[in-house]
Amino acid sequence: MQQHTHSYYAATINNHREFPVLQDNLECDVCIVGAGFSGLSSALHLAEKGFRVIVLEAAKVGFGATGRNGGQIVNSYSRDVDVIEKRYDKKTANSLCSMIMEGSDIIRDLIQKYDIDCDYRQGGLFTALNYKQFADLKDQKANWERYGNNDLTLLSEDELRDYVGTDVYCGALLDNRGGHIHPLNLALGEAEAIVGLGGQIFEQSTVTRIEKGSQPVVHTATGSVKAQYLVLAGNAYLGDLAPKVSDKAIPCGTQVIATKPLTKALAEELLPKNHCVEDCNYLLDYFRLTSDNRLLFGGGVVYGARQPQSIERLMRPKMEHIFPQLEGVDIDYTWTGNFLLTYSRMPQFGCFDDNIYYLQGYSGHGVTCTHLAGRLLAEALTGHAERFDAFASLRHFTFPGGRRFQIPFTAIGAAWYNLRDKLAI
């Protein structure tokens, strides 16, 4: 049996419910493969509309990136407004950009509606390491304001010291519609809401085979589910279940460490207003405080989802560079988690065989966009597919180099962008 990785999140979950293993042959309206945020959001939005939903999870609810990420509510997609408007036709671009803030709003609504205890805190910072990045943040603010986010504030280097206790950054953009959460507790709260609405969730129920047809049948080792619609929401953990979907993206690993609980004075010195932070580098670092005053620090992307020999050895120097006052502090938790990266850096939503849908490839922006994805899927299955189709119309590119060389080629490209960040060009 697969259990949650040894992380701060797994050690501090609110709910220890064990969902059953599928051991029957069942029928439903929609069967969803994967109990991460994509699958949970889909199931919850569909259950609210009266669909009979079943979710099959190979391990535990929130086992993958959902229960291992930095817990940051970051708006937009991995490609932002400026790129979207240049790359796609006006109608598609307007549709995509009109949704860039919706995922965070959905999260807040679900927390309130279902009374989910997940340590929600308002406010997120994008920090600039050089003046080129700060100029880009000015453009980002203007772009986001054109699409309705007026809760943004540019912070100068001096102003930023009231928010982050370091002199590494030269400015920042504060997004008050961002924030941070305990993501595993959010996922578990959503799972409880699904069950409360009549949905079913089965853990330790790996899908072994899919029978396509007018009513797809999903098989596990000990049961099956026949449905009107099937939703593939496994993301980086989908494996070879649907090669035509999984071959369009590559898994990447991100590393996270969590310190021992800090004194209240030290925690307030690091992040006086308890906002979360991510920098503007291509290979970015991110951090925030937990509810018990640990610093949770992440980054260190590894292409191909290989786990480093020592996560602490990789991440500690980055943390201590930002916060020298944490030099030598005890690290209580280290873990890695995989997310799915697309070549376009845009999410991949679509449908094949008329009744098999897929949601994947958030490229590092999964916390918010997964929640949007579930709403769009529910719209599509109730006859309002316009917004879902805006994503489905995007062309999916494969990474150069084929299966053998796509990971090293991608790593080489990332190394160039990393050098460009350091040289501020």
Q: Using H for helix, E for strand and C for coil, what is the string for 184-233?
A: HHHHHHHHHHHHHCCCEEECCCCEEEEECCCCCEEEECCCEEEEEEEEEC
- pLDDT for the residue 343: 85
Residue 424, pLDDT score: 58
* Of 325, 336, 244, 259, nearest in space to 294 by CA: 259
Q: At what angle do helices 366-381 and 102-113 cross, to 10 degrees?
A: 80
Task: Say if strands 276-279 and 249-259 run parallel, antiparallel, or are unpaired.
Answer: unpaired
> Can you give the pLDDT at residue 405?
42
- Look-up of token digits 């994008």: 126
Domain map of the chain by residue range? 8-404
Nearest CA among 191, 16, 13, 15 for reference residue 114: 191
Q: Which helix (H) or strand (E) holds 60?
A: none
Tens of pLDDT, residue by residue over 340-365, are 888 899 999 999 999 999 999 999 89
Report, as ranges of residue numbers, the positions in the chain whose pLDDT lies below 50.
404-419, 421
Residue 414 φ/ψ, nearest 5 degrees: -65, -35
pLDDT at 413: 43
According to CATH, the topology of domain 8-404 is: FAD/NAD(P)-binding domain (3.50.50)
Determine the pLDDT at residue 238.
87
Measured CA distances, 131 to 152, 275, 281, 297, 425 (Å):
19, 22, 12, 24, 10
Pairing outcome for strands 348-352 and 356-360 = antiparallel
Scored b (16 or more CB within 10 A) or e, 67-103 reads bbbbbbbbbbbbbbbeebbeebeeebbebbbebbbbb
pLDDT of residue 396: 86
Strand partners, 152: 175
Q: Residue 379 burial (CB < 10 Å; 0-12/13-18/19+)? A: middle
Is 82 in contact with 147 (CB distance < 8 Å)? no
